[in-house]
Amino acid sequence: MNYEIVHELPGRIRLRCYRGFGFTKDEAGVIESLLEVQDGVRDVSASHVTGSILVLYDPGSSAGGQNGQNRQKILAAASMIDRGYLDGESLPARYREPGIVSGACALFARSAFNRLLPMAVRVVISAARYLPFLLRGLKSLVTGKLDVSVLDASAIGASIILGDIGTASTIMTLLAFGELLESWTKERSKRKLAEGLALSCDTLWVERGGAQIEIPASDLVIGDEVVVRAGAVIPVDGEVTRGDAAVNQSIMTGEPLPIHRYPGTSVYAGTLIEEGEILVRVTAFDRDTRVSRIAEMIDDSVALRANIQGRAEKLADAVVPYSFLLSGAVFLVTGSLRKAVSALLVDYSCAIKLSTPLAILSAMREGARLGVVAKGGRILEKIAEADTVVFDKTGTLSVASPSVALVLPFNGWTREQVLRTSACLEEHFPHSIARAVVRKAEDENLKHREKHAEVEYAVAHGIVSRIGKSRAIIGSEHFVIEDEKIPLSPKDAALIEALPPNQSLLYLAVGGRLAGVLCIEDPLREEAVEVVTKLRLEGVWRIAMITGDNERSASHAASSLGLDYYRSSMLPERKTEYVKKLRASGAKVIMVGDGINDSPALGASDVGIAMKESADIARETSDVVITKGDLRSVLTARRLSTAVMRRIYDNYVFIVVINSALLVLGLGGVISPAMSALLHNASTIGASVRSLMPLLEESDLE
């Protein structure tokens, strides 16, 4: 198998197959089974969607160094897997994604059939089924662990020694069903998440030898020229070689307005052609495109376990020694091996260890369906713990579709000159305010032939250029008036002060004098007030806004929404500092943003949430990606997170109460060991099934 190492940490290595060695979902299971048998390997996860293979292993004495023996064996084994071997290898049953109903029916049908067999045959079958449990238990003991595997092996073994084959069979059947349930949920959750976000395309139109032909996507190669027409999603990353089109790149850049793409410009997979037709020379496709990184994120997210999940597993293993102590004490007091086995059969660990990860995975799957994609279980836990939410304004609290409401000229300039010059400067920069200015000029049929020199753009500041011999600048009040020291007369200041407070102001200065002010109307989202109000009811006691917008606009927005705090004219570094100060004061902070200038703050918060229209870098930096264009999804994320944490704690209470009751009944001789085992495992399955139930009802989404 041809591969490259794309990421490595001690005990963790990710491989990605080169082009030409893709594998199917079934073959992914074969690869997993072949690598899992290597020395020191703890877990293998192969993704046919991204072509990657994640291996978790014991780094050994080399602590994961480049010369670690286990690492070398893993890489050697991966190199030996070839296409011929994969095609000839059958998929191990435990790696086939089971249908939960058919799998459960088959499992319990075999168990029922075994009970009809002669006792001697049942003993042999039970011994054979017991062997894997015994080996897992012995492996734990050899490594110095007294965990659930040891407890399971002891309980089943004791039942067989006592001749209670029915109890032993029941325990093994129920444990097998628990594994089936966990495996099915994990794989189904991962698949649903990936399918909901990954780009798929079966056939493509390409131009070869001057003719346009349709080919299977699997036949595409780098350098091919793909034909994409209006209404179609671009299936590859590449460079436009012919034609021109209006391309909606919101999935990548966050800009809601279409971008003009023409020969020499780049386009990305997953973006949509609204008008026109282009020929695209392929530079990347399939799992190498930007959009496929989302599917890669899903693969990684399963490894990002919630702290509560880790604590649950530790708690589960920590309970095991006490189960053995109790069983031993019962035997010493009563002299009854059967009662001692009853104590051994009832433990708290199985249900705790199984139900918690199932609840987390189920919540992640439900979140993806509702438009909230969390990059790992621990993110859900942090959202539930948060007491502070900080919003960006433009594109987050506002609709991200601004328009020019008013153009105010100064110092001898006309309104048309101000708008034409502003559009001429802004047309080179694809952000929402620039698009609004250019669109306004086009709507008024104002031609803006370029007269300026090369332009310079400073993120969150503005634009600097030259028109003839005069220096031209356009940007925020902070940039133009304060930084660039453009004079503002009392009369001009009064006119500007009288402008509507809900509008953002864009200042144009040429030759050291103010030429005009453009009033940008960017209304708040209709649902913004509702979201702020309901977040308070959900336990968030501090809600703030940080924005690069001017003081007047920021103040008006904060007042309209009833926010606790706001900061205006904030540069990216100041946004980050603000979030860090909040965290340093003890606050648990959720930051919600959408732009490039929000990315550092998103990364500095406890949880960064990127809106659907977010810039690519904001989506990469964030912990949660909103896939629906509605601010209510932030509220959904909060409710989903608190609901899954509440369910986990409710499961703890249920498990402790039920199993304690069974323990008392078993020790009192009220129920037999077989009934004790049956009820214990039934409670485990009950807690697990409950973990899979939907967390939010329709009323929770209103």
Q: Characterise 203 by phi-psi region: left (phi > 0), alpha (psi -120 to 50), beta (else).
A: beta
| C-beta atoms surrounding 196 within 10 Å | 16
Dist. CA 362–CA 421, nearest whole Å? 54
- The answer to whether residues 29 and 53 touch, using CB atoms and an 8 Å cutoff, is no
- Residue partners of 215: CB distance under 8 A and separation at least 6: 203, 204, 205, 206
Order of strands across the sheet with 12-17?
3-9, 12-17, 52-57, 41-47
CA distances from 497 to 160, 493, 547 (A): 87, 6, 20
Using only the alpha carbons of the chain, give its radius of gyration: 31
Q: How long a stretch of residues is the chain?
A: 702
DSSP-derived secondary structure for 219-271: G--TT-EEEEETTPBP-EEEEEEEEEEEEE-HHHH---S-EEE-TT-EE-TT-
Least Cα distance to 651 among 311, 364, 356 occurs for: 356
- The answer to whether residues 520 and 538 touch, using CB atoms and an 8 Å cutoff, is no
CA distances from 33 to 11, 366, 454, 505, 666 (A): 18, 29, 59, 62, 40
Dist. CA 243–CA 229, nearest whole Å? 10
Q: Where is 504: in which H helix or E strand? A: strand 503-510
Dist. CA 6–CA 51, nearest whole Å? 12
Residue 500's Cβ-side half-sphere holds a number of Cα atoms within 13 Å equal to 14
Please report, in angstroms and rounded to a whole number, the separation of the first and last CA atoms in the chain: 50
Is 392 in the active site?
A: yes
Least Cα distance to 545 among 357, 389, 336 occurs for: 389
611 secondary structure, DSSP code: -
Which of these is catalytic: 152, 237, 392, 606? 392
CA distances from 699 to 154, 534, 628, 695 (A): 47, 13, 18, 11
- CA angle centred on 183, ends 181 and 187, rounded to 5°: 120
- The answer to whether residues 323 and 230 touch, using CB atoms and an 8 Å cutoff, is no
Dist. CA 372–CA 359, nearest whole Å? 16
Order of strands across the sheet with 403-409?
403-409, 513-521, 503-510, 470-475, 462-467, 456-458
- The answer to whether residues 365 and 193 touch, using CB atoms and an 8 Å cutoff, is yes
CA distances from 32 to 91, 92, 202, 487 (A): 10, 10, 26, 69
- Residue partners of 498: CB distance under 8 A and separation at least 6: none
In three-state secondary structure terms, 163 is coil
- Indicate the pairing of strand 607-610 with strand 589-593: parallel
Supply the residues annotated as catalytic: 392
